[in-house]
Amino acid sequence: MPYITADDGAQIFYKDWGVSGSPVLLSHGWPLNSDAWEATALFLAQHGHRAVAHDRRGHGRSSQTWSGNEMDTYADDLACMIDALDLRDLTLVGHSTGGGEIVRYVGRHGTGRVAGLALVSAVPPLMLRTDDNPDGLPVEVFDEIRAGELANRAQLYRDLADGPFFGHNRNGDVPQGFRDAFWLQGMASGHRGAYECIAAFSATDFRPDLAKIDVPTLVVHGDDDQIVPIEVGGRRSVELIDGAELKVYEGSSHALPDTDRDRLHADLLAFIDR
């Protein structure tokens, strides 16, 4: 199985599909892993691109480290992988927490290898309500997720899958397979890594990172996202990224790589091939 070694010795698992064309790196959400991007990676590879997707540390097949479960280290792990694979003219695509990861990568490592960014249902600029971010979500929302992670994470992941993540609580039409895959990937994460990642995706302030983005950026967000509301995420990010384009998926949930797969694939391909 392919791995790269991070600066602290952690082993980061990755998939590398396709043999030609410009590379695309796909960064997954919490508490998932690179399997969440398989359909997109296959689509992009079939359409002439090199699709790379990794398991974030503490998730999937990567090392379950005790430390480093925060955005700076996630971004540095990404830098190690991009350098090791010598990826250039790269499009970074991040879903949910993965959107934060790729934005923090740009903030720490610049855009020398990057041709563009696509933020899908992404957590930037800042999910947590603070004095200077009054429209964010109250800390109690994330405390409840932390409590669920500690008390019975298997049930937490089931409740998220059957409820707000896919929007199944709205009309009950999300296929069982999508929901089962979410639960299975969640249970493959490490307990400590998944717990600490809650703070990483909710309390990290990405506003300084967004200000450093100087490449074309596509922001895609559903206007019925119950995990990262569009007014907290997508709309605010577009205001802070010079020249960013916003595509709103009307009535769509957080899980766009599954629930809106065909539309998202078309939009990503058009953006990458622009």
**225 is annotated as an active-site residue:** yes
Annotated catalytic residue, options 34, 96, 237, 253: 96
Query: Tens of pLDDT along 212-226?
Result: 999 999 999 999 999
Contact predicate 178/156, CB 8 Å: no
**254 is annotated as an active-site residue:** yes
Domain limits, the chain: 3-272
Write down the CATH number for the domain with range 3-272: 3.40.50.1820
Within a 10 A sphere around the Cβ of 203, how many other Cβ atoms? 16
Annotated catalytic residue, options 77, 209, 225, 258: 225
172 Cβ neighbours under 8 A, 6+ residues apart = none
**55 is annotated as an active-site residue:** no
What are the angstrom distances between the C-alpha of 256 and each of 7, 22, 117, 119? 32, 23, 16, 11
Q: What is the pLDDT of residue 101?
A: 98
Annotated catalytic residue, options 49, 54, 168, 254: 254
Q: What is the pLDDT of residue 250?
A: 98
* Arithmetic mean of pLDDT, 95-124: 98
CA distance 274 to 89: 13
